[in-house]
Amino acid sequence: DDIRMPEVHLAPDEVRTLQNAARLVAGVDGFPLAHDLEMALAKLDAAMAGANLTGPDDDELAHSIRYQHRRVIQGTDPDRTLATLADALVTRRLLRIHYRAVGSDVAEREVEPYALFLRRGVWYLVGWCRLRDAIRVFDVHRMLAATRVGKPQAFTPPPDFDLARWRDAEPWELEVHPPVTVRLHLDRSVAGLATSRFPRAQVVDHSADGAVVIDSTVTHRDALIGFVMSLWGRARILSPDDLIRAFHERVRALIADHDGEDAP
Protein backbone atom coordinates (compact mmCIF):
# COMPACT_ATOMS: atom_id res chain seq x y z
CA ASP A 1 0.00 0.00 0.00
CA ASP A 2 2.88 2.37 0.69
CA ILE A 3 4.02 2.30 -2.95
CA ARG A 4 0.57 2.60 -4.52
CA MET A 5 -0.62 5.94 -5.83
CA PRO A 6 -3.74 7.28 -4.15
CA GLU A 7 -6.96 6.63 -6.04
CA VAL A 8 -7.89 9.39 -8.44
CA HIS A 9 -11.52 10.48 -8.55
CA LEU A 10 -12.48 12.25 -11.77
CA ALA A 11 -15.84 13.57 -12.91
CA PRO A 12 -17.11 12.30 -16.31
CA ASP A 13 -16.23 15.57 -18.07
CA GLU A 14 -12.74 15.48 -16.56
CA VAL A 15 -12.20 11.92 -17.77
CA ARG A 16 -13.28 12.80 -21.31
CA THR A 17 -11.09 15.92 -21.36
CA LEU A 18 -8.08 13.94 -20.15
CA GLN A 19 -8.76 11.18 -22.65
CA ASN A 20 -9.06 13.59 -25.57
CA ALA A 21 -5.89 15.41 -24.54
CA ALA A 22 -4.00 12.12 -24.34
CA ARG A 23 -5.18 11.13 -27.80
CA LEU A 24 -3.96 14.44 -29.19
CA VAL A 25 -0.51 13.74 -27.77
CA ALA A 26 -0.66 10.26 -29.28
CA GLY A 27 -0.75 11.95 -32.69
CA VAL A 28 2.68 13.49 -32.16
CA ASP A 29 5.24 11.86 -34.44
CA GLY A 30 8.03 10.23 -32.46
CA PHE A 31 6.50 10.85 -29.02
CA PRO A 32 9.00 8.94 -26.83
CA LEU A 33 6.51 7.92 -24.12
CA ALA A 34 3.95 6.51 -26.56
CA HIS A 35 3.80 3.09 -24.88
CA ASP A 36 3.22 4.63 -21.46
CA LEU A 37 0.49 6.80 -22.92
CA GLU A 38 -1.12 3.79 -24.57
CA MET A 39 -1.29 2.03 -21.19
CA ALA A 40 -2.73 5.14 -19.56
CA LEU A 41 -5.40 5.39 -22.25
CA ALA A 42 -6.30 1.73 -21.72
CA LYS A 43 -6.84 2.42 -18.02
CA LEU A 44 -9.00 5.44 -18.83
CA ASP A 45 -11.07 3.38 -21.26
CA ALA A 46 -11.56 0.71 -18.58
CA ALA A 47 -12.52 3.32 -15.99
CA MET A 48 -15.07 4.87 -18.32
CA ALA A 49 -16.56 1.48 -19.20
CA GLY A 50 -16.77 0.50 -15.54
CA ALA A 51 -18.44 3.75 -14.60
CA ASN A 52 -20.84 3.47 -17.56
CA LEU A 53 -19.74 6.87 -18.88
CA THR A 54 -20.11 8.17 -22.40
CA GLY A 55 -17.29 6.92 -24.57
CA PRO A 56 -14.92 9.09 -26.59
CA ASP A 57 -16.66 8.23 -29.86
CA ASP A 58 -19.72 10.10 -28.59
CA ASP A 59 -17.79 13.15 -27.44
CA GLU A 60 -18.09 16.27 -29.60
CA LEU A 61 -14.52 17.32 -28.81
CA ALA A 62 -13.12 13.99 -29.95
CA HIS A 63 -15.01 14.32 -33.23
CA SER A 64 -14.03 17.93 -33.82
CA ILE A 65 -10.24 17.57 -33.56
CA ARG A 66 -7.97 15.53 -35.75
CA TYR A 67 -4.37 16.29 -34.85
CA GLN A 68 -1.20 15.03 -36.48
CA HIS A 69 2.12 16.69 -35.64
CA ARG A 70 4.98 15.47 -37.82
CA ARG A 71 8.64 16.11 -37.39
CA VAL A 72 10.01 18.35 -40.11
CA ILE A 73 13.63 17.47 -39.23
CA GLN A 74 14.44 13.87 -38.42
CA GLY A 75 18.08 13.92 -37.35
CA THR A 76 20.26 10.84 -36.83
CA ASP A 77 18.33 7.80 -35.52
CA PRO A 78 15.66 10.10 -34.04
CA ASP A 79 13.48 7.49 -32.32
CA ARG A 80 16.40 5.98 -30.42
CA THR A 81 17.67 9.43 -29.44
CA LEU A 82 14.26 10.58 -28.22
CA ALA A 83 13.81 7.38 -26.21
CA THR A 84 17.20 7.92 -24.55
CA LEU A 85 16.37 11.53 -23.72
CA ALA A 86 12.95 10.67 -22.33
CA ASP A 87 14.36 7.91 -20.11
CA ALA A 88 17.04 10.26 -18.78
CA LEU A 89 14.34 12.83 -18.01
CA VAL A 90 12.17 10.38 -16.12
CA THR A 91 15.05 8.82 -14.17
CA ARG A 92 17.00 12.09 -13.79
CA ARG A 93 20.19 10.67 -15.18
CA LEU A 94 23.00 12.68 -16.72
CA LEU A 95 23.24 12.74 -20.52
CA ARG A 96 26.41 12.73 -22.58
CA ILE A 97 25.69 14.05 -26.06
CA HIS A 98 27.75 14.68 -29.17
CA TYR A 99 26.27 17.92 -30.43
CA ARG A 100 26.85 20.07 -33.47
CA ALA A 101 25.82 23.65 -32.83
CA VAL A 102 25.19 26.00 -35.76
CA GLY A 103 28.50 26.98 -37.33
CA SER A 104 30.54 24.81 -34.92
CA ASP A 105 32.28 21.47 -34.90
CA VAL A 106 30.87 18.50 -33.00
CA ALA A 107 31.50 18.83 -29.25
CA GLU A 108 30.83 16.50 -26.35
CA ARG A 109 28.47 17.93 -23.74
CA GLU A 110 27.24 16.66 -20.38
CA VAL A 111 23.69 17.80 -19.74
CA GLU A 112 21.25 17.51 -16.85
CA PRO A 113 17.96 17.15 -18.77
CA TYR A 114 15.07 19.26 -17.46
CA ALA A 115 12.44 19.06 -20.22
CA LEU A 116 11.73 17.87 -23.75
CA PHE A 117 9.28 19.58 -26.10
CA LEU A 118 8.20 19.65 -29.75
CA ARG A 119 7.72 22.96 -31.51
CA ARG A 120 6.98 23.54 -35.18
CA GLY A 121 8.04 20.02 -36.01
CA VAL A 122 11.39 20.17 -34.18
CA TRP A 123 12.21 18.41 -30.89
CA TYR A 124 14.18 20.37 -28.29
CA LEU A 125 15.87 19.40 -25.03
CA VAL A 126 16.22 21.94 -22.21
CA GLY A 127 18.80 21.27 -19.53
CA TRP A 128 21.82 22.39 -17.56
CA CYS A 129 24.91 22.26 -19.77
CA ARG A 130 27.98 21.55 -17.67
CA LEU A 131 30.22 22.83 -20.44
CA ARG A 132 28.53 26.25 -20.53
CA ASP A 133 27.58 26.20 -16.84
CA ALA A 134 24.10 27.45 -17.74
CA ILE A 135 20.69 26.29 -18.98
CA ARG A 136 20.74 25.67 -22.71
CA VAL A 137 18.28 24.50 -25.38
CA PHE A 138 19.49 21.79 -27.76
CA ASP A 139 17.99 20.89 -31.14
CA VAL A 140 17.58 17.12 -30.90
CA HIS A 141 18.27 16.65 -34.63
CA ARG A 142 21.75 18.12 -34.07
CA MET A 143 22.64 15.35 -31.63
CA LEU A 144 24.82 12.76 -33.33
CA ALA A 145 24.75 10.54 -30.23
CA ALA A 146 23.14 10.56 -26.80
CA THR A 147 24.04 8.26 -23.91
CA ARG A 148 22.79 8.01 -20.33
CA VAL A 149 25.63 8.05 -17.82
CA GLY A 150 25.82 7.62 -14.06
CA LYS A 151 23.10 6.63 -11.64
CA PRO A 152 19.44 7.66 -11.48
CA GLN A 153 18.37 10.65 -9.40
CA ALA A 154 21.71 12.31 -10.07
CA PHE A 155 20.29 15.84 -10.10
CA THR A 156 17.19 17.87 -9.26
CA PRO A 157 15.86 20.62 -11.53
CA PRO A 158 15.77 24.01 -9.78
CA PRO A 159 12.41 24.76 -8.16
CA ASP A 160 12.02 27.96 -10.19
CA PHE A 161 12.59 26.24 -13.55
CA ASP A 162 9.77 27.29 -15.90
CA LEU A 163 9.55 25.40 -19.17
CA ALA A 164 7.28 28.06 -20.68
CA ARG A 165 10.16 30.56 -20.67
CA TRP A 166 12.12 28.29 -22.99
CA ARG A 167 9.28 26.61 -24.89
CA ASP A 168 7.59 29.88 -25.86
CA ALA A 169 10.76 31.78 -26.74
CA GLU A 170 11.73 32.13 -30.37
CA PRO A 171 15.12 30.57 -31.22
CA TRP A 172 16.73 34.00 -31.65
CA GLU A 173 15.60 34.91 -28.10
CA LEU A 174 17.58 32.14 -26.44
CA GLU A 175 20.43 33.38 -24.28
CA VAL A 176 23.45 32.40 -26.37
CA HIS A 177 25.02 35.75 -27.35
CA PRO A 178 24.99 39.24 -25.78
CA PRO A 179 21.76 41.07 -26.65
CA VAL A 180 21.77 43.23 -29.77
CA THR A 181 19.03 45.27 -31.42
CA VAL A 182 18.44 44.05 -34.97
CA ARG A 183 16.47 45.98 -37.57
CA LEU A 184 14.55 43.81 -40.03
CA HIS A 185 12.63 44.62 -43.20
CA LEU A 186 9.68 42.28 -43.79
CA ASP A 187 8.00 42.27 -47.21
CA ARG A 188 4.22 42.51 -47.39
CA SER A 189 3.89 38.75 -47.89
CA VAL A 190 5.51 38.09 -44.50
CA ALA A 191 4.60 41.31 -42.67
CA GLY A 192 2.30 39.36 -40.37
CA LEU A 193 5.39 37.83 -38.76
CA ALA A 194 5.95 41.16 -37.06
CA THR A 195 3.19 40.25 -34.62
CA SER A 196 3.15 36.45 -34.75
CA ARG A 197 6.91 35.79 -34.43
CA PHE A 198 8.20 39.13 -33.09
CA PRO A 199 5.49 40.19 -30.62
CA ARG A 200 7.98 42.10 -28.44
CA ALA A 201 9.54 43.97 -31.36
CA GLN A 202 9.01 47.66 -32.06
CA VAL A 203 7.51 48.56 -35.44
CA VAL A 204 9.47 51.55 -36.73
CA ASP A 205 8.03 51.90 -40.23
CA HIS A 206 5.06 50.88 -42.38
CA SER A 207 5.57 51.11 -46.14
CA ALA A 208 2.82 51.94 -48.60
CA ASP A 209 3.27 48.53 -50.22
CA GLY A 210 2.48 46.77 -46.91
CA ALA A 211 6.05 46.00 -45.82
CA VAL A 212 7.14 46.72 -42.24
CA VAL A 213 10.43 47.50 -40.52
CA ILE A 214 10.93 46.31 -36.95
CA ASP A 215 13.53 46.52 -34.22
CA SER A 216 13.95 43.31 -32.22
CA THR A 217 16.30 42.31 -29.42
CA VAL A 218 18.26 39.22 -30.46
CA THR A 219 20.37 36.99 -28.23
CA HIS A 220 21.00 34.13 -30.68
CA ARG A 221 22.40 35.58 -33.88
CA ASP A 222 22.76 32.28 -35.75
CA ALA A 223 19.11 31.41 -35.19
CA LEU A 224 17.96 34.74 -36.60
CA ILE A 225 20.18 34.33 -39.66
CA GLY A 226 18.70 30.89 -40.28
CA PHE A 227 15.17 32.26 -39.94
CA VAL A 228 15.81 35.10 -42.39
CA MET A 229 17.31 32.63 -44.86
CA SER A 230 14.20 30.46 -44.58
CA LEU A 231 12.08 33.35 -45.90
CA TRP A 232 13.85 33.25 -49.29
CA GLY A 233 14.52 36.96 -49.74
CA ARG A 234 11.26 38.21 -48.29
CA ALA A 235 13.08 39.52 -45.22
CA ARG A 236 16.30 41.52 -44.96
CA ILE A 237 18.60 42.42 -42.09
CA LEU A 238 19.13 46.19 -42.16
CA SER A 239 21.43 46.48 -39.13
CA PRO A 240 23.83 45.97 -37.44
CA ASP A 241 26.50 45.72 -40.12
CA ASP A 242 28.35 42.79 -38.57
CA LEU A 243 25.18 40.69 -38.62
CA ILE A 244 24.63 41.59 -42.28
CA ARG A 245 28.15 40.38 -43.04
CA ALA A 246 27.55 37.17 -41.07
CA PHE A 247 24.36 36.57 -43.08
CA HIS A 248 26.19 36.95 -46.42
CA GLU A 249 29.00 34.68 -45.20
CA ARG A 250 26.43 32.01 -44.33
CA VAL A 251 24.84 32.29 -47.78
CA ARG A 252 28.23 32.05 -49.52
CA ALA A 253 29.16 29.01 -47.43
CA LEU A 254 25.87 27.33 -48.33
CA ILE A 255 26.41 27.99 -52.02
CA ALA A 256 29.95 26.59 -51.80
CA ASP A 257 28.70 23.45 -50.05
CA HIS A 258 26.35 22.72 -52.97
CA ASP A 259 28.62 23.85 -55.79
CA GLY A 260 28.42 21.50 -58.74
CA GLU A 261 25.16 19.85 -57.71
CA ASP A 262 22.31 19.56 -60.16
CA ALA A 263 19.32 21.75 -59.52
CA PRO A 264 16.47 19.88 -57.79
Say whether pLDDT at 137 is over 60. Answer: yes
How would you list the strands of the sheet with 202-206, edge to edge? 202-206, 212-218, 180-186, 235-239
The rounded mean pLDDT for the chain is 85
Round to whole Å and give the CA distance between 20 and 167.
Answer: 23
pLDDT over threshold 90, residue 158: yes
pLDDT band of 177, cuts 50, 70, 90:
confident
Cis peptide bond upstream of 240, omega within 30: yes
Task: Give 264's pLDDT tier (boundaries 50, 70, 90).
Answer: low
pTM of the model: 0.69
pLDDT above 90 (res 179) = yes
* pLDDT tens figures, 23-46: 777 777 778 888 788 788 777 777
Distance CA 130, CA 126 (A): 13
Beta partners for residue 92, in sequence order: none
Burial class (CB in 10 A: 0-12, 13-18, 19+), 47: middle
Per-residue model confidence (pLDDT) at position 39: 81
Where is 123: in which H helix or E strand? strand 122-129
b/e 96-118 (16+ beta carbons within 10 angstroms → b) = bbebeeeeeeeeebebbbbbbeb
**Strand, helix or coil at 221?**
helix
Q: How confident is the model at residue 101 (pLDDT cuts 50, 70, 90)?
A: confident
Instruction: Give whole-number Cα distances, 205 to 194, 210, 213, 215, 227, in Å.
Output: 11, 10, 5, 10, 21
In the prediction, which pLDDT does 34 show? 80
User: Measured at the alpha carbon of residue 216, what is the angle toward residues 214 and 222, in degrees to the nearest 5?
Assistant: 120
Q: Where is pLDDT greater, at 150 or 64? A: 150
Task: Say what the pLDDT of residue 76 is.
Answer: 73
What gap in Å lies between CA 29 and CA 259, rounded to an integer?
34
pLDDT digits (tens, 9 = 90+) for 53-71: 555 455 555 545 555 566 6
Q: Which pLDDT score, from 0 to 100, does residue 52 have? A: 56
* Cβ pair 139, 85 in contact under 8 A: no
